[in-house]
Amino acid sequence: MRILVTGKNGQLGKSINKIVNTGNGKNNYQQDNEFIFVGREELDLSNNSSIINYFNNNDKFDVIINCAAYTQVDKAEQEAELANQVNHLAVKQLASIANKQQARLIHISTDYVFDGESDKPYTEIDITNPINVYGKTKLAGEKALQAVMPINAIIIRTSWVYSEYSNNFVSTMLRLGKERDELSVVSDQIGSPTYATDLADAILEIIKSKEFREENQTTQIYHYSNEGEISWHEFAKEIFKIAKIDCKVNPITTQQYPTPAKRPINTIMSVDKIVGIFSLNTPNWKESLIKFRKHEYEK
């Protein structure tokens, strides 16, 4: 299969790239597939003609994995039009191209499509109600994709993604923890961290599965995160414990830490559907944080 991966310089794009380029044995992804990784230099999702040109100038693909997105949650409040173009209109365009090429589309979305008011883990059929611009544009992308591509696509919503690449909550904590003796971190927002390597593994497992290869399947939404729930405050404490960093972490409320974009309070998602259909492994967040530390040392 010819597999296109967008967002090659992002956390998920880089994580997929690393697995594809180091996999061997039964995980030798290069053996039967050709992976093409692209960044905004080759395929700029903020620009319609860049998207058209890219696909006109390249052979057709069997699978498109869209890891690219406008992910700056606070900045999106000021750049709503750009966020909408990348997270919604470009997704619609990718879906239409995938249709024409008879390619499968795997698109990544977010827990921020929910308002966070539920007291139970969100399932794929729960009502969405985003409370910030980023969440609204990602939801618009999901809906446009489903309308254009009622078959042959998968939407995977994930949450609190971190990796050994670029800036994320874990890398920020590791940096600040070394610089300061004390930090204040929000303790009333609950979620499930997701190590990008685990999500990348899951996507590659899905591509290999016979369920994914069956023809003309209805487009589905799935939730994927690491297992377990935690607040940002508890997560920061665990990051310091594992990294043996001596930094006190004080709990603060969301109200005490105002941000331009509102954040949902509780976005724990049920992963039962994706685990059931694709027999995936969803490691506990703590186990994955330890694995992340090991990879970070090796980098």
Ligand X SMILES: NC(=O)c1ccc[n+]([C@@H]2O[C@H](COP(=O)([O-])OP(=O)(O)OC[C@H]3O[C@@H](n4cnc5c(N)ncnc54)[C@H](OP(=O)(O)O)[C@@H]3O)[C@@H](O)[C@H]2O)c1
Residues that bind ligand X (CB under 6 A): 7, 9-13, 39-40, 43-46, 67-71, 86, 108, 110-111, 138, 158-161, 166
For ligand X, the closer CB: 63 or 67: 67
Residue whose tokens read 């390597």: 197
Of 276, 272, 280, 275, the closest CA to residue 125 belongs to 272
Residue 280: phi and psi, rounded to 5, are: -85, 160
Q: How many CB atoms lie within 10 A of CB 194?
A: 26
Q: In this chain, which residue has its C-beta nearest to ligand X?
A: 10
Closest to ligand X by CB, 108 vs 145, is 108
Whichever of 40 and 208 has its CB closer to ligand X, that residue is: 40
Report the alpha-carbon angle 108-114-118, nearest 5: 135
Cβ-based nearer residue to ligand X, 83 or 148: 83
Question: Which residue(s) pair with 156 in the sheet?
Answer: 108, 222
> Phi, psi (5° rounding) for residue 153?
-130, 160
Residue 275 CB, nearest distance to ligand X (Å)?
18
| CB 193 to ligand X: min, Å | 9
Phi, psi for residue 262 in degrees, rounded to 5: -65, 145
The CA R_g of the chain, rounded to the nearest whole Å, is 19
Q: Closer to ligand X at the Cβ: 158 or 226?
A: 158
Shortest separation between residue 39's beta carbon and ligand X, angstroms: 5
User: How far apart (Å, rounded) are the C-alpha atoms in residues 60 and 72?
Assistant: 31
Cβ proximity to ligand X: between 32 and 51 the closer is 51
Residue type, 298: E
Instruction: Take residue 246 and report the two structure tokens written for it.
Output: 């001596």
Give the contacts of 140 (CB within 8 A, at least 6 positions apart). 84, 87, 88
- What is the CA 272 to chain-centroid distance, rounded? 18
Which residues are known to be catalytic?
Answer: 134
Q: Scan for tokens 């974009």, then name that residue.
A: 261
> What is the DSSP secondary-structure string of 172-202?
HHHHHHHH-SEEEEE-S-EE--EEHHHHHHH
Least distance (Å) between residue 58 CB and ligand X:
15
Please report how close the Cβ of residue 260 comes to ligand X at its closest, in angstroms. Answer: 16
Q: How far is the CB of 9 from ligand X (least distance, A)?
A: 4
Distance CA 168, CA 85 (A): 23
